[in-house]
Structure 1
């Protein structure tokens, strides 16, 4: 698999994790589990620099 295709797959996986973490965060907030809400919010924030790194690595690859 080419690196560009692998990068797109990784970015899709990161997006899916972002959606899942946001969903869990809202669910935990609704049931007043604030510690879990902060954990999933922190995981969402940590995924952002990872996605930027993968995007920059994928963008620099020659087709």
Structure 2
């Protein structure tokens, strides 16, 4: 199974963004800035399906024909 650098880098960037948004969300919640909390939460929710799409694309690209699910 060969992986492309674009998919791995894309998933890494999305993971980094999720970590940053989660940290910012906790920080803003502590200071009771709930508008920003909702914005960061929505960003995390939007990035999750994007990561799943990239993962599935990379998984299908590396599979051979007999092992495809």
TM over 0.5: yes
> What is aligned with 1:26?
26
> What is aligned with 2:16?
16
Larger radius of gyration: 2
RMSD: 1.7
Counting matched residue pairs gives 62
User: Aligned partners of 2:48, 2:8: CA distance in 1, in Å?
Assistant: 15
Structure 2 residues not aligned, in runs of 5+: 64-69
8 A Cα contact 2:3 2:62, kept in partner: no
Moved over 3 A (4+): none
The structure whose RCO (Cα within 8 Å, separation 6+) is larger is: 1
